[in-house]
Amino acid sequence: MSTTAHNPDQYMYDFKHILTHGRKKIGVLIGAGAPVSINVGSAETWKSLIPDISGLTELVKSDLTTNELTVYEAIESQLDNSNLELVLSRIRTLAEVIGTSKINNYDGNDYHILSKKICLKIKDVVGENLPAGETPYSNLISWATGINRDSAIELFTTNYDLLLEEAMERVKTPYFDGFSGSRIAFFDPSSISSNDLPSRWVRLWKLHGSINWSTNSAGEVIRLVGEADGTMVYPSHVKYDQTQSAPFSALFERLKNFLLESDTILITIGFSFADAHISAKLDECLSENPSAAILAFQFDKLENEIPACNLAQRRPNLSVYCKDGAVINGIPAPWRIGESPTRNWEIIRNEYWFEDEYILGDFLSFARFLANSNGDKIYESISPVVEENTNEEQ
């Protein structure tokens, strides 16, 4: 039986140094698990600001008529590992191809109407505003802008919500998302490829679209706050085709180019690695550029984070940190607290270790850890542990 273990203190000491260094090229990939960490209910009854996919599915289904729900569940029953995004993808496909023929007593136009209704419900659910005061998003932006950096922080997200935009606008942080203009902003791929804005401008890349994106009469993606449903991409057999068109092709190319730059670090949070399209892109880049690294902070235990752990065992430059253990240098092993890397390290350990579990897979704890890293006087003042001459028996 293997006795291998990973000491979280060792890796968090190095991670804290990276966060406060200011000279590393750092990107953060934010997945659907991030807004789930914000409780807008009570201490007794948790209610996420934006629910996960299962919660979103229930809200969408509750908004359907009896006939619509019957059609939805008929499609749902035909799909393996069905979820809202896969069902919606099938509905959209049927709307495009069946014309006046009928499936489940719905023709193409009926499916088009059902698709639009589901999209508008999704927009309504994910269109929440941030609560007042401290939030994980405000802490993330506080870290991103809190020190002078040689390279801009790049935020990649698969989420459609506007929480990152709101967090930056609250504190007047300049950011660029690939669009230019005011009334009806147009997408400018050349600005993404050149990436020559000042480093104090945060880059925001929305890989799956946004609820404030729409399409104009020419079929071009524009950014505005309007009544049209958002131009969103869903995991399906048509995703590859969709992501080859603007602006998605340019955004995915930016993710690739970021990871192919020398000595870059991509941090993932709230991302399950179940999105095959993005995971394949990360896999490709890690293989091509051994100097790049991905640090994946996962909410669950090792045994339940299968996609991330499988990829990390193939790519030693991907490290996966879970509640009960990690995959580091391709080796899965449980956490085991060892000798502190510095004196008084227990103060910092409390930020990522609670009740014998690693907690930075929770976006709330993760973002607070980042914010605390800026000008962390405790971290800067504690002395490294050094060997001392002593006659005492150890």
Report pLDDT digits (tens) over 90-99.
998 899 899 9
- pLDDT > 90: what percent of the chain? 59
Q: What is the pLDDT of residue 80?
A: 79
Condensed to tens digits (0 to 9), the pLDDT of residues 260-278 reads 998 899 999 999 998 888 9
DSSP string, 302-317: GGG-HHHHHHHHH-TT
Confidence of residue 353 (pLDDT cuts 50, 70, 90): very high
* Distances in whole angstroms, Cα of residue 248 to Cα of each of 41, 192, 252, 370: 35, 12, 6, 29
* Model pLDDT, residue 82: 78
How much is the average pLDDT of 43-49? 89
Which amino acid type is present at position 33? G
pLDDT digits (tens, 9 = 90+) for 132-177: 999 999 999 999 998 888 888 999 999 989 999 999 999 999 999 9
CA distance 294 to 329: 11
Contact residues for 197 (Cβ-Cβ < 8 A; gap 6+): 152, 176, 191, 203
Residue 388 has pLDDT above 90, yes or no: no
pTM of the entire predicted model: 0.88
Residue 367 has pLDDT above 80, yes or no: yes
Q: What CA–CA distance (Å, rounded) separates 240 from 360?
A: 32
Interval 66-71 mean pLDDT: 95
Residue 58: exposed, middle, or buried by beta-carbon count in 10 A (0-12, 13-18, 19+)?
Answer: exposed
What is the overall mean pLDDT for the chain?
A: 87
Share of the chain above pLDDT 70, in %: 89
- What value does the mean pLDDT take over residues 356-384? 79
- Cβ of 211: how many Cβ atoms within 10 Å? 24
